[in-house]
Amino acid sequence: MALKKLGSPAALFVGAAAFLVTGLLLAFWYAPTDASTMGFSQKIFYFHAPIAECALLAFAVAFVAAVQYLRTQKSVYDRLGYVSVRLGLLFSLLVMATGMIWGKAAWGVWWAWEPRLTTFLVVCLLYAAYFVLRQTVEDETRRATFAAVFAIIAFVDVPLTFFATRFMPAGLHPVVFTTGGARMEGSMLFTFCLTMIGMTLLLAALLRLELAEQALKEELDELKIRAEAGA
């Protein structure tokens, strides 16, 4: 799998830590304070946005894994889809938490029913239902097939969330990256790129670690079944 070419989980974690720590330092000591009404609270953007992008990236990986599973019926893709959705939801919870903190500091509200927030909440609910579905189907093959189909359907809302602030009525979220380039100073963009790389490496590291753990768990379950059958 492509993830194995990225390196060991330990190496990925080290790389992620290096980029994220550097990005954190630059966010507070190098990148200037935003000139808009958001002011100092804007600095959470350097981590809030990368977390959000990685949450959507995890769901995209789950989508690809689902398609591959339906094509090949290989359990490794069901495992990848399961792990990707779980990590995507974890990152999504962090997005919601950091977003509410930022929203309260910048706009005076914890929550607003605006396009980006609403579509992102729908994404979270859809992928939470993914685990409910897996729990209700006992047969492994049928469970994997139903989960793959559901992951493909749920992914429809992911691009809607990404483009919500571009094609829907204006909300609280500003459009930072446009077809004309990034609407931020060079120092801000550099800092954002570092944290984006770091967060992506963290996602890759967690995927590698979770996949290895899931594979080991399945092997232990098979050994247990064989032992019980031979007893």
Map out the domains of the chain as residue ranges.
Answer: 14-168+184-226
CB 57 within 8 A of CB 17: no
Confidence of residue 69 (pLDDT cuts 50, 70, 90): very high
Asked if the model's pLDDT at residue 218 lies above 90, the reply is no
Asked if the model's pLDDT at residue 183 lies above 60, the reply is no
Nearby residues of 105 by Cβ (< 8 Å), 6 or more positions away:
41, 44
Asked if the model's pLDDT at residue 105 lies above 70, the reply is yes
Asked if the model's pLDDT at residue 66 lies above 60, the reply is yes
Between CA 55 and CA 87 the distance in angstroms is 7
Q: Which CATH class is domain 14-168+184-226?
A: mainly alpha
CB 127 within 8 A of CB 154: yes
pTM of the model: 0.82
Confidence of residue 85 (pLDDT cuts 50, 70, 90): very high
CB 92 within 8 A of CB 77: no
Confidence of residue 169 (pLDDT cuts 50, 70, 90): low
CB 66 within 8 A of CB 143: no
Tell me the two tokens of residue 33. Answer: 């304070």
Q: Tell me the percentage of the chain whose pLDDT exceeds 70.
A: 79
- Please give the pLDDT value at position 78: 94
pLDDT digits (tens, 9 = 90+) for 108-122: 777 777 777 778 888
Q: Tell me the percentage of the chain whose pLDDT exceeds 90.
A: 43
Instruction: Annotate 6-51 with DSSP letters as a single string.
Output: G--HHHHHHHHHHHHHHHHHHHHHTSPPPSSTTGGGGGGHHHHHHH
